[in-house]
Structure 1
Amino acid sequence: MQDSALTQLVLPLLIVLIMFGMGLSLVVADFARVIKMPKAILAGLAGQILLMPLLAFAVALFFELSAELAIGLMILAACPGGTMSNVICHIAKANLALSVTLTALSTLICVFTTPVIIALAVAHFSQTQITDFSIVSSTVALIVITLLPLSLGLFIRHKFSTTSLYLVPYFRRFSAVFVVLMIIAICIEERNTLLSSFSSVFMATLALNLLAIGIGLLLGWLTRLSAIDGVTLGIEVGIQNAALAIVIGVSLLKHPDYAISAGVYGVTMYIGSLLLAMLAKKD
């Protein structure tokens, strides 16, 4: 994808719409719930914010990914949870309130942690630095395309609750369609790189997803949460906002090859998560 109106304007605007839709699905109580279930929230955030990037780093080294794929995997791991985790938690009959709260809080926190993780990843894996990359400007950009539309959606939900609830499913479908279209576009644009490294990047993303789910379950067990809360953590840590990771790679960093790992993870993350959901539903 060449630097154009599509990558610099349209894609960020689509993320704005997705984050606005997420805001419509939230209420203020979702952010205050940390007081009612602090142990579960802190365990989930530890898995999402701290352990997920560490897992991605280890996976990138183990599979000896190229610099572009490794950085892309780190970008993906540095992003917050995606709204589809809430859908999968609903399918699994898990703790939906916990899932929604973790998605909301990780989105707020990752605005500030994601640029730092990206900077560290680029410094470690890349032979050539991104000269125009700035932690401050990246943080500001993430605030504009994530926090502001999310806050607007939250405000609209507060003022027009019935209408907001009616619109939420449409925004979720739009988000799913957007991710699918972006994955297709990346596969076409970066087909040479993807074909030459598909087996390694597929196995790396699948391994990352399964490890992330395992970490979530382990955190639930270590903190003595209920089984259903542990399943919720597994799903929440394993599902990432792949759409945001793709836009960061393509639009903010202007490196479409950084989006390959996110695009593949956008597919593989449902393998382990849906398997866990089906197993949890049986119980």
Structure 2
Amino acid sequence: MDSALTEIGLPIALAIIMFGLGLDLTIADFRRVGTQPKAVVVALVCQLVLLPAVCFGLVVLFDLPPLLGIGMLLLAASPGGTTANLFSHLFRGDVALNITLTAINSIIAIATLPLITNLAIDYFDKSESVSMPLAEVVKVFALILIPVGIGMLVRAKKASFAAAMDKPVRIASAIILAILVLGILLGEKDRVGDYLADVGIVAALFCAISLVVGYAVPRAFGVREGQAIASSFEIGVHNGTLAIFVAENILEVNEIAVPAAVYSLLMFFMAAGWGAIISRRVGQRESSNAAT
């Protein structure tokens, strides 16, 4: 990817996206962990433990090349993206729970993202050529948490401005992610066909499993429908921009960013399709209940 896009565009992109998250957040969103513990804990266990294990299984099963395998696990370790809130809103999920999960997981990821990524680097024996220094990790999460904090402050002081900025920031976030995906794929244009062949099926399977597990496991634990829908999108719609930023600016290997780019390309279509399936299922159940 072009160095200007990597060194200037990526940090700005990530800051804008996290500022947008902050505009949605209040202190009450963090307190919600205590009022809805089951929904939050089940979703976080799925996102932080179960899905990284599933991703590792897919990487091994499909025998991905080491750098693409590291990229998939980096993606799996990334928290949910702000777009999850939009999908949840469109398909009758509990958006407040989405916001809570994104906020909590973005903080927890300070520890889990480098842990999972370093385990992947060690597994593929790439520590001599790929490294994730602690100082750089701290800088990344400062870049995440400071804009979130500023966004929360803006919302607390100027709620009307925060509400007016919500849609423009979401649109800007989607456009930024699209540009990043295009930039990565163009930067690897000579090998993009091979990469898609190698990682496309794995990325699609991981997205599908994430969406289904994110819904089915909470429902199995008695979490109500709207919260399960929120969990599904939170787990299935990752912060691809963060994964790309870490791959490009910390690990400094463009190939590691490819899985996040491919996943980001697929997840919008797959999440929309899954949302349509859930909506139809919920609508049929409500019609059946009304008839009886």
Please give the range of the TM-score, normalised by the shorter of the 2 chains.
over 0.9
The separation in 2 between residues aligned to 1:235 and 1:11, in whole angstroms, is: 24
Q: 1:60 Cα deviation (Å)?
A: 0.9
The separation in 2 between residues aligned to 1:131 and 1:247, in whole angstroms, is: 15
In the alignment, is the contact (CA less than 8 A) between 1:78 and 1:117 conserved in 2? Answer: yes
The separation in 1 between residues aligned to 2:127 and 2:28, in whole angstroms, is: 45
In the alignment, is the contact (CA less than 8 A) between 2:114 and 2:132 conserved in 1? Answer: no
Q: 1:214 Cα deviation (Å)?
A: 2.0
The separation in 1 between residues aligned to 2:268 and 2:171, in whole angstroms, is: 16
Provide the residue aligned with 1:225 in structure 2.
223
Provide the residue aligned with 2:57 in structure 1.
58
Structure 1, unmatched stretches of 5+, are none
Provide the residue aligned with 1:244 in structure 2.
242
The separation in 1 between residues aligned to 2:126 and 2:76, in whole angstroms, is: 21
Deviates more, 1:191-200 or 1:171-180: 191-200
Provide the residue aligned with 1:269 in structure 2.
267
CA offsets 1:54-96 (integer angstroms, 9 cap, x no match): 1211111111111111111111111100000000000101111
Provide the residue aligned with 1:70 in structure 2.
69
In the alignment, is the contact (CA less than 8 A) between 1:231 and 1:276 conserved in 2? Answer: no
Cα–Cα, structure 1 residues 132 and 226, in superposed 2: closer, same or farther, change >3 Å? closer
User: Identity of aligned pairs, percent?
Assistant: 28
The separation in 2 between residues aligned to 1:128 and 1:104, in whole angstroms, is: 31
Provide the residue aligned with 2:30 in structure 1.
31
1:119 aligns with 2:101: no
Structure 2 counterpart SS, 1:191: coil
Q: 1:132 Cα deviation (Å)?
A: 5.0
Provide the residue aligned with 1:177 in structure 2.
175
Q: 1:168 Cα deviation (Å)?
A: 1.5
1:193 aligns with 2:191: yes
TM-score computed with the length of structure 2 as normaliser: 0.91
In the alignment, is the contact (CA less than 8 A) between 1:115 and 1:138 conserved in 2? Answer: no
CA offsets 1:85-110 (integer angstroms, 9 cap, x no match): 00000010111111111111111111
The separation in 1 between residues aligned to 2:177 and 2:136, in whole angstroms, is: 22
Cα–Cα, structure 1 residues 213 and 147, in superposed 2: closer, same or farther, change >3 Å? same
RMSD: 1.6
Cα–Cα, structure 1 residues 36 and 217, in superposed 2: closer, same or farther, change >3 Å? same
Structure 2 counterpart SS, 1:129: coil
Structure 1 counterpart SS, 2:191: helix
CA offsets 1:23-45 (integer angstroms, 9 cap, x no match): 11111111111111100000111
The separation in 1 between residues aligned to 2:91 and 2:244, in whole angstroms, is: 27
The separation in 1 between residues aligned to 2:203 and 2:230, in whole angstroms, is: 20
Residues 100-111 of structure 1: pairs in structure 2 closer than 5 A = 100-111=99-110
Query: Which one has a bigger Cα radius of gyration?
Result: 2
The separation in 2 between residues aligned to 1:125 and 1:37, in whole angstroms, is: 39
1:267 partner amino acid: L
2:166 partner amino acid: V
Cα–Cα, structure 1 residues 102 and 128, in superposed 2: closer, same or farther, change >3 Å? closer
- The structure 1 segments of at least 4 consecutive aligned residues displaced by more than 4 Å after TM superposition are none
Provide the residue aligned with 1:150 in structure 2.
148
Structure 2 counterpart SS, 1:133: coil
1:15 partner amino acid: L
The separation in 1 between residues aligned to 2:150 and 2:129, in whole angstroms, is: 32
CA offsets 1:103-131 (integer angstroms, 9 cap, x no match): 11111111221111111111112445346
The separation in 2 between residues aligned to 1:251 and 1:241, in whole angstroms, is: 16
In the alignment, is the contact (CA less than 8 A) between 1:12 and 1:251 conserved in 2? Answer: no
TM-score computed with the length of structure 1 as normaliser: 0.94
The separation in 2 between residues aligned to 1:5 and 1:188, in whole angstroms, is: 15
Q: 1:251 Cα deviation (Å)?
A: 1.3
Provide the residue aligned with 1:280 in structure 2.
278
Structure 2, unmatched stretches of 5+, are 284-292
Provide the residue aligned with 2:258 in structure 1.
260
Cα–Cα, structure 1 residues 186 and 223, in superposed 2: closer, same or farther, change >3 Å? same
In the alignment, is the contact (CA less than 8 A) between 2:121 and 2:130 conserved in 1? Answer: no
Q: 1:221 Cα deviation (Å)?
A: 2.4
Count of aligned pairs between the two proteins:
281
Cα–Cα, structure 1 residues 131 and 95, in superposed 2: closer, same or farther, change >3 Å? closer
Provide the residue aligned with 2:47 in structure 1.
48
